[in-house]
Chain A
Amino acid sequence: MSIQSNVEVHTEWGIVSARQAGRNLAKDAGFGNVDQARIATAISELARNIYLYAEKGEIVIQYVEDTESPVSKRGIKIIAKDKGPGISNIRDVMEDGFTTSGGLGAGLPGVKRLMDEFDIHSTAGEGTEITAIKWLR
């Protein structure tokens, strides 16, 4: 069982490989069918954003363990990073229905709802790094 998957995203196929890698890791980690779909969908959205807006970047999927909380938790962490143009209007992109690509505008707010933890760091001109975690229940 591999601990981590790194998938380069610079073609549409990168989106597919990333979500397949995520689904496999989620399955191995013991996530049920529905959470596997949630994780795969979240990865697909993040990978598509990289492909659409930054052209290339990387999706890292890894197991995480939280030993600091009273009850130790295990889960899967997705890190999506790129050196693209960055997002200057984070408040807008986190709003349902906001889109600059003609899509549904469901991507990032959707990822936030699909996952348990969500964190976004972006600097205009430097790039974006989004981290999302799903905990095993």
Chain B
Amino acid sequence: MRIPILKLHKYLLISVQVELDDQTALQFQEDLLNKIHQEGSIGVVIDLTSVEMIDSYIAKVLGDVVEMSNLMGAKVVLTGIQPAVAITLIDMGIMLNEVPTALDLEQGLEKLQQELEG
């Protein structure tokens, strides 16, 4: 299963709508980095509104893809993390401290703009 990655000017937009199994998550990591490289994108928003569960493995893959994208020169913002997911992650002791987040796609794009200007 592949997660679609949409291009919007200099940005990439992803809305994760599938149950994230390990393979899909890893494939996404690779696809996103390739797409950043291809399109020369400077910013990425990954929307997690439809994701009902993030376990430690998926959290690691997401945290890693943010850092990998940063290495390539693209900023990533995660948006739409559900209340239950936020609670579960903190219960687990997973902080994702370095990862920029926003409430929804709209605010995520605003945050990207701020990060890129500042």
Residue from B23, B57, B84, B91 in contact with A48 in the complex, judged by beta carbons closer than 8 Å: B57
Q: A92 in the interface, Cβ–Cβ < 8 Å?
A: no
Residue interface mask A19-49, B partner, CB < 8 A = 1:
1100100000000011011101100110010
Interface of A is mostly: helix
Inter-chain contact total with CB atoms closer than 8 Å: 72
- The bracket for how many chain A residues form the interface is 20 to 34
* Contact of A20 with B88 at beta-carbon distance under 8 Å, contacts A45-B55, A104-B94, A107-B56 already known: no
Residue interface mask A53-83, B partner, CB < 8 A = 1:
0000000000000000000000000000000
Residue from A15, A34, A41, A110 in contact with B21 in the complex, judged by beta carbons closer than 8 Å: A15
Other A-B contacts than A16-B21, A33-B83, A41-B92, 17 sampled, CB-CB below 8 A, are A15-B21, A19-B53, A19-B55, A34-B84, A37-B52, A37-B53, A37-B84, A45-B56, A48-B57, A103-B57, A104-B56, A104-B59, A104-B60, A106-B93, A107-B56, A110-B91, A113-B92
A interface residues, Cβ below 8 angstroms from B = 12-13, 15-16, 19-20, 23, 33-34, 36-38, 40-41, 44-45, 48, 96, 103-104, 106-107, 109-110, 113-114
